[in-house]
Amino acid sequence: MIMTRWLDNPNKDDVVVSTRLRVARNLKDKVFPIYSTDQQADEVKELIKGAVANLFQEGEYSYHQLKELEPRENMRYMEDHLISPVLVDHWKKSSFFLRDDEKVTIMINEEDHIRLQTLLPGLDLIQGWKLCSEIDDTLESVLDFAWHEEYGYLTSCPTNTGTGLRASVMLHMPGVTITGHISNIIDALRKIGLTIRGIYGEGTEAVGHLYQVSNQLTLGESEDEIIEKLNRVVLQLIRREKNTREYLADKKRLEIEDKVYRSLGILRSARLISSKEAMEMISNIKLGRDLGMIGNQQWEDLIKLMIDIKPGNIQNRLGRSMNRVERDETRAEIIRDYFK
């Protein structure tokens, strides 16, 4: 029942979950989505839709208009990281193309006319950027993008102007979270122009010990520089997290075992559980599994499980809207079943 196809990865890593690249593009001489009338937005949508339909093979992409989907379906696409929270906010105007393998999304009328995203499992910035860049070039071959000789690609929000590129890597870092080193890491990353935050975008808490590290600057650095720097820092973060986990397994074994087994005890017995608590507990079990403290062949998709128990996914699984208590009860059932 677990979806999130794009996460299928033969080369699993204990720390890096995924790599995402997205570029922001706008059509020349068209009003930005946040200022456009419904008619203007519709016109932009039709232009892009026509281009994509002509450029790619039939059946390669599916097309979705948010206003035609149930709110729980839109939520599920967002939870799966296939579309952005802003696209959902703009549901009246917005739509998206999703490639069959879920690795490419072309969002229309988000904050910009186009947000092109590639999403790959593990750390794969080079391939992710290659894929993103190729599709961007293909789109640019038929669409006229707003571009300025000095500033580069023009965007609705100035923080995206320039390359329009946001490269980000999702990391599972329970080790440095437990020891508290994460606050130093956050400060250090900020100083070198990178940001780190929770996995559902700006201002979100790092639920489930999942962090998203990305470039802050889009102006003044080339795409290759952005990617090279992020890659280098992520490799350092992986080393740091792994060293910390080894330290914990060695010096704080009892405390960590206690945390891991308690989490399993709770997940195997709770009758009601919020997605936040569940993600935290699943994260602890993943840490225990990665450290070889507990193990089960069936538990390989713990990150997928974390996504699968989010509110939108829960409601889609049952094909209906549910209130909070119903969701918490269903979530607890799904999780008990998973870990039984």
The sign of the dihedral angle between the CA atoms of 95, 99, 100, 103 is negative
C-beta of 264: minimal distance to its own copies in Å?
A: 6
Q: Does 325 bind its own copies (CB under 8 A)?
A: yes
Reduce the DSSP state of residue 274 to 3 states and report it: coil
Q: Does 309 bind its own copies (CB under 8 A)?
A: no
Of 248 and 266, the one with the shorter C-beta distance to its own copies is 266
Of 217 and 294, the one with the shorter C-beta distance to its own copies is 294
What is the rounded CA–CA span in Å between residue 159 and residue 213? Answer: 16
List the structure tokens of 271: 């009758």
> Within a 10 A sphere around the Cβ of 103, how many other Cβ atoms?
19
List the structure tokens of 164: 């329009």
C-beta of 147: minimal distance to its own copies in Å?
A: 56
Name the phi and psi angles at 217, rounded to 5: -100, 140
**Contact (Cβ atoms closer than 8 angstroms) between residue 249 and residue 181:** no
**Contact (Cβ atoms closer than 8 angstroms) between residue 70 and residue 80:** no
Of 43 and 329, the one with the shorter C-beta distance to its own copies is 329
Reduce the DSSP state of residue 244 to 3 states and report it: helix
C-beta of 262: minimal distance to its own copies in Å?
A: 5
C-beta of 295: minimal distance to its own copies in Å?
A: 15
Candidates 14, 301, 329, 333: give the one binding its own copies (CB under 8 A): 329
C-beta of 257: minimal distance to its own copies in Å?
A: 5
Of 30 and 336, the one with the shorter C-beta distance to its own copies is 336
What is the rounded CA–CA span in Å between residue 339 and residue 181? Answer: 30
C-beta of 317: minimal distance to its own copies in Å?
A: 20
C-beta of 207: minimal distance to its own copies in Å?
A: 19
Of 191 and 271, the one with the shorter C-beta distance to its own copies is 271
Reduce the DSSP state of residue 309 to 3 states and report it: coil
Candidates 107, 332, 334, 335: give the one binding its own copies (CB under 8 A): 332
Question: Per-residue contact track with its own copies, 236 to 275, x per CB under 8 A?
Answer: ------------------xx-xx--xx-xxxxxxxxx---
What is the rounded CA–CA span in Å between residue 221 and residue 192? Answer: 13
Of 1 and 254, the one with the shorter C-beta distance to its own copies is 254
Of 205 and 255, the one with the shorter C-beta distance to its own copies is 255
What is the rounded CA–CA span in Å between residue 41 and residue 233? Answer: 39
Of 121 and 288, the one with the shorter C-beta distance to its own copies is 288
Alpha helix (H) residue ranges in the chain: 38-55, 71-79, 85-89, 125-140, 174-179, 182-191, 223-251, 253-269, 275-290, 302-308, 311-318, 324-339
Q: Determine the length of the chain.
A: 340
Q: Does 142 bind its own copies (CB under 8 A)?
A: no
Number of residues that bind its own copies (CB under 8 A): 18
Return the closest-CA partner of residue 120 out of 3, 8, 239.
8
List the structure tokens of 264: 């399993």
Residue 17 Cα distances to 119, 138, 192, 243, angstroms: 11, 28, 23, 18
Intra-chain end-to-end CA distance of the chain, in Å? 16
Of 51 and 267, the one with the shorter C-beta distance to its own copies is 267
C-beta of 268: minimal distance to its own copies in Å?
A: 6
C-beta of 266: minimal distance to its own copies in Å?
A: 5
Residues binding its own copies (CB under 8 A): 254-255, 257-258, 261-262, 264-272, 325, 329, 332
